[in-house]
Amino acid sequence: MKDAHFVVQRPTSPAKQLLLLFHGVGDNPVSMGEIGRWFAPAFPDALIVSIGGVEASGAAPGRQWFSVGNISEENRQQRVDAVMPQFIEVVRYWQQQSGISPLATALIGFSQGAIMALEGIKAQPDLASRVIAFNGRYASLPQRVATTNTIHLIHGGDDPVIDLAWAVKAEEAVAALGGDITLDIVEDLGHAIDDRSMALALHHLQYTVPKHYFDEALSGGKPNDDDIIELL
């Protein structure tokens, strides 16, 4: 699986951030890499890698993380759980290869890729500090959240594949548990990413200060310099 990837940007000096991109069903890492190119100018010191799903899907070079054939609310979590060890393995692999800690790692996914990113930090909160989920959802809503994760949901208002209601439920559930989450609705957008979606994602990664920084400040703590350079 580590071979199913496309490096969008590799800085000449040691990387300071790691941005990992995850595509939807039937897509591929090269195609999703085009989304990664939007992030490159804003994060010139970031290693940006687009990751392919673990199995073939449809016509080559399409891939997926899990089959959506006969998918239901009853079996979706089981399918995600079955492939989660491989997902976590590939994130840890790129962190090890780059020398970048989870604090400076962002998982950026679209559709099924967004599901895997959200479920990844649900399974292991220390996997990454940020998630950008374009038109995604949880397989099942979390029962607890970590305050060290910052989640940005960006969803088309007219999405016919993953209804906006799933993003609204996710935002409400995470917020109710004390988590750090934002939801941006892109009007008149279906199951897709457009320039408005990308502008929102870039704004959040560059300017949205994680909630745990405020919590640390209120408690008298202070994030160290390595934290500050994460994704701000």
Three-state DSSP at 137 gives coil
Query: Tens of pLDDT along 16-74?
Result: 999 999 999 999 999 999 999 999 999 999 999 999 999 988 888 999 999 999 999 99
| From 101, 140, 191, 227, active-site residue | 191
According to DSSP, the β-strands at 55-56 and 63-64 are: antiparallel
Residue-averaged pLDDT of the chain: 91
CB 74 within 8 A of CB 97: no
CB 53 within 8 A of CB 141: no
Active site residue 159: yes
Q: How far is CA 72 from CA 40, 75, 213, in A?
A: 37, 5, 38
**Separation CA 140–CA 151 (nearest Å):** 16
* 58 φ/ψ angles, rounded to the nearest 5 degrees: 65, -150
Residues in the chain: 232
Query: Tens of pLDDT along 75-102?
Result: 999 999 999 999 999 999 999 999 999 9
pTM of the shown model: 0.92
Q: Which residue has the tokens 């994680």?
A: 210
Give the chain's domains with CATH numbers: 5-228 (3.40.50.1820)
Query: Tens of pLDDT along 166-180?
Result: 999 999 999 999 999
Mean per-residue pLDDT for 190-195? 97
Cβ within 8 Å of residue 226, ≥6 positions away: 101, 103, 104
**Residues 2, 101, 148, 192, CA torsion sign:** negative
| From 159, 180, 197, 204, active-site residue | 159
215 — pLDDT class (breaks 50, 70, 90): low
- Please report the pLDDT score of residue 34 as a whole number: 94
Instruction: Decide: residue 82, CB within 10 A, 0-12 exposed, 13-18 middle, 19+ buried.
Output: exposed
Tell me which amino acid residue 205 is. L
Helix (H) or strand (E) segment spanning residue 182: strand 180-186
Active site residue 5: no
Three-state DSSP at 98 gives helix
Q: Which residue has the tokens 């400040």?
A: 217
Instruction: Decide: residue 102, CB within 10 A, 0-12 exposed, 13-18 middle, 19+ buried.
Output: buried
The CA angle 28-81-111, to the nearest 5 degrees, is 35
| From 111, 152, 155, 204, active-site residue | 111
Which pair of structure tokens corresponds to residue 19?
């941005």
